[in-house]
Chain A
Amino acid sequence: MSAVIAPDKAPSRANVMPDTPGWARWANDHRKWLFAAPAMAFVAALIIFPLGWTIYLSLTDSSGSVRAESEFIGFRNYIDVLTDTDRFWPAVGRTAAFTGVALLFEVVLGMAIALLLWRPFKGEKWVRVAILLPLVATPVAVGMMWRLIFDPNIGLANQALGWIGIGPQPWLAGQHTALPTTIFIDIWQWTPMVVLILLAGLTSLSEEPQEAAMIDGASPWQRFRHVTLPLLMPTVIVAVLLRGIDALKTFDILYATKGRGGGSFNEVETLNVYAYGLSFDYNEYGLSSTVLILFFLIIIGSMWALTSRRKKEARR
Chain B
Amino acid sequence: MTLSACGGGGDSGASDTVRVTLVNHVWTENIRKVIPQFEQETGLKVEVTQLGEDQLSDQYNVKLNAGSRDIDVMMYRPLQEGRLFAENGYLADLTDKAEGSADFDFADFQETPVGATSHEDKLVGVPIITEQQVLYYRKDLLEKSGFTAPPATLDELKAQATKIQADNPGVAGFVARTGKAAAVTQFSSFLYSFGGDFVDASGKAAVNTPAAKQAYAFYGGLLRENGPANVSTDMSWSEAMAIFTQGQAAFYPEANSLYKNATDPAKSKVSETVGFAPMPAGPAGSKPYNIPSWGLAVNESSENQDNAWKFIEWAAGKAQTLEQQKAGVPGARTSVWENPEGISTYPADMADAITVSLANGVGHDRPVVERVAQAREIVGQPIVDAITGGDAAASAETANEAFQKFLDDEAR
Contact residues of A with B, CB < 8 Å? 64-68, 152-154, 158, 168-170, 172-175, 258-261, 263-265, 279-283
Whether B384 pairs with A265 at a CB distance below 8 angstroms is yes
CA–CA, A282 to B388, complex, Å?
26
Q: Besides the contacts A152-B229, A283-B61, what 16 more A-B pairs have beta carbons closer than 8 Å? A: A64-B88, A152-B230, A153-B248, A170-B230, A173-B234, A174-B230, A259-B234, A259-B236, A260-B373, A263-B234, A264-B180, A264-B384, A279-B61, A280-B58, A280-B61, A283-B84
A and B contact pairs by CB, cutoff 8 A, 10 listed: A64-B87, A64-B370, A66-B65, A67-B65, A168-B230, A172-B232, A174-B230, A264-B180, A282-B373, A283-B371
> Which residue of B has the minimal Cβ distance to A66?
B65
Whether B180 pairs with A153 at a CB distance below 8 angstroms is no
Check if B178 is an interface residue, CB within 8 A of chain A. yes
Q: Taking the nearest CB of chain A, how far is it from the CB of B79, in angstroms?
A: 15
> Which residue of B has the minimal Cβ distance to A262?
B234
B232: which of A170, A280, A281 is its contact (CB, 8 Å)?
A170
A-chain residues with CB within 8 Å of residue B388 when the two chains form the complex: 175
> Which residue of B has the minimal Cβ distance to A173?
B232
A280: which of B57, B88, B178, B234 is its contact (CB, 8 Å)?
B57
Known: A280-B57, A281-B373. A264 touches B230 (CB 8 A): no
Q: How would residues 52 to 77 of chain B score, 1 for a CB under 8 Å from any chain A CB and 0 otherwise?
A: 00100110010011110000000000
Chain B, 212-257, CB within 8 A of any chain A CB: 228-234, 236, 243, 246, 248
Whether A154 pairs with B88 at a CB distance below 8 angstroms is no
CA–CA, A306 to B19, complex, Å?
49
Q: Taking the nearest CB of chain B, how far is it from the CB of A68, in angstroms?
A: 6
Whether A264 pairs with B233 at a CB distance below 8 angstroms is yes
Q: Taking the nearest CB of chain A, how far is it from the CB of B51, in angstroms?
A: 14
Whether A68 pairs with B181 at a CB distance below 8 angstroms is no
Whether A153 pairs with B234 at a CB distance below 8 angstroms is no
Known: A64-B88, A153-B243, A280-B57. A263 touches B371 (CB 8 A): no
Chain B, 380-399, CB within 8 A of any chain A CB: 380, 384, 388
Q: Taking the nearest CB of chain B, how far is it from the CB of A253, in angstroms?
A: 15
Whether B178 pairs with A264 at a CB distance below 8 angstroms is yes
Chain B, 295-351, CB within 8 A of any chain A CB: none
> Which residue of B has the minimal Cβ distance to A150?
B232
B-chain residues with CB within 8 Å of residue A169 when the two chains form the complex: 230
Q: Taking the nearest CB of chain A, how far is it from the CB of B171, in angstroms?
A: 11
> Which residue of A has the minimal Cβ distance to B61?
A280
Check if B401 is an interface residue, CB within 8 A of chain A. no
Whether B65 pairs with A282 at a CB distance below 8 angstroms is no
Check if B115 is an interface residue, CB within 8 A of chain A. no
Whether A258 pairs with B234 at a CB distance below 8 angstroms is yes
A-chain residues with CB within 8 Å of residue B54 when the two chains form the complex: 260
Q: How would residues 193 to 221 of chain B score, 1 for a CB under 8 Å from any chain A CB and 0 otherwise?
A: 00000000000000000000000000000
Whether A65 pairs with B233 at a CB distance below 8 angstroms is no
B-chain residues with CB within 8 Å of residue A175 when the two chains form the complex: 233, 388
> Which residue of A has the minimal Cβ distance to B380?
A264
B-chain residues with CB within 8 Å of residue A152 when the two chains form the complex: 228-232
Chain B, 254-281, CB within 8 A of any chain A CB: none
Known: A64-B370, A264-B179. A173 touches B61 (CB 8 A): no
A-chain residues with CB within 8 Å of residue B65 when the two chains form the complex: 65-67
B-chain residues with CB within 8 Å of residue A174 when the two chains form the complex: 230
Check if B24 is an interface residue, CB within 8 A of chain A. no
CA–CA, A258 to B181, complex, Å?
13
CA–CA, A174 to B387, complex, Å?
12
Check if B16 is an interface residue, CB within 8 A of chain A. no
Chain B, 81-127, CB within 8 A of any chain A CB: 84, 87-88, 90
Which 6 pairs across A and B sit closest by C-beta, in order of nearness?
A173-B232, A152-B230, A264-B180, A65-B88, A264-B233, A281-B373
CA–CA, A265 to B383, complex, Å?
11
Q: Taking the nearest CB of chain A, how far is it from the CB of B314, in angstroms?
A: 30
Q: Taking the nearest CB of chain A, how far is it from the CB of B406, in angstroms?
A: 10
Q: Taking the nearest CB of chain A, how far is it from the CB of B120, in angstroms?
A: 16
CA–CA, A68 to B180, complex, Å?
30
Q: Taking the nearest CB of chain B, how far is it from the CB of A95, in angstroms?
A: 20
A-chain residues with CB within 8 Å of residue B231 when the two chains form the complex: 152, 173
Check if B39 is an interface residue, CB within 8 A of chain A. no
CA–CA, A195 to B374, complex, Å?
42
Q: Taking the nearest CB of chain B, how far is it from the CB of A26, in angstroms?
A: 41
> Which residue of B has the minimal Cβ distance to A278?
B374
A-chain residues with CB within 8 Å of residue B140 when the two chains form the complex: none
Whether B229 pairs with A261 at a CB distance below 8 angstroms is no
Q: How would residues 365 to 381 of chain B score, 1 for a CB under 8 Å from any chain A CB and 0 otherwise?
A: 00000110110010010
Whether A259 pairs with B179 at a CB distance below 8 angstroms is yes
Known: A282-B373, A283-B371. A153 touches B228 (CB 8 A): yes
Whether B230 pairs with A153 at a CB distance below 8 angstroms is yes
B-chain residues with CB within 8 Å of residue A279 when the two chains form the complex: 61
CA–CA, A64 to B372, complex, Å?
12
B-chain residues with CB within 8 Å of residue A158 when the two chains form the complex: 230
CA–CA, A265 to B380, complex, Å?
11
Q: Taking the nearest CB of chain B, how far is it from the CB of A265, in angstroms?
A: 7
Q: Taking the nearest CB of chain B, how far is it from the CB of A69, in angstroms?
A: 11
CA–CA, A29 to B230, complex, Å?
72
CA–CA, A258 to B54, complex, Å?
13
CA–CA, A265 to B233, complex, Å?
8
CA–CA, A118 to B30, complex, Å?
58
> Which residue of A has the minimal Cβ distance to B301?
A67
Chain B, 22-66, CB within 8 A of any chain A CB: 54, 57-58, 61, 64-66
CA–CA, A304 to B102, complex, Å?
69
Known: A64-B88, A153-B229, A172-B232. A282 touches B61 (CB 8 A): no
CA–CA, A153 to B239, complex, Å?
11
A-chain residues with CB within 8 Å of residue B181 when the two chains form the complex: 260-261
Known: A263-B234, A264-B233. A67 touches B180 (CB 8 A): no
Q: Taking the nearest CB of chain B, how far is it from the CB of A112, in angstroms?
A: 33
Of the candidates A175, A263, A264, the one having the most CB atoms from chain B within 10 angstroms of its own CB is A264
CA–CA, A158 to B228, complex, Å?
14
Whether B234 pairs with A264 at a CB distance below 8 angstroms is yes
Whether B234 pairs with A282 at a CB distance below 8 angstroms is no
Whether B87 pairs with A261 at a CB distance below 8 angstroms is no
Q: Taking the nearest CB of chain A, how far is it from the CB of B237, in angstroms?
A: 13
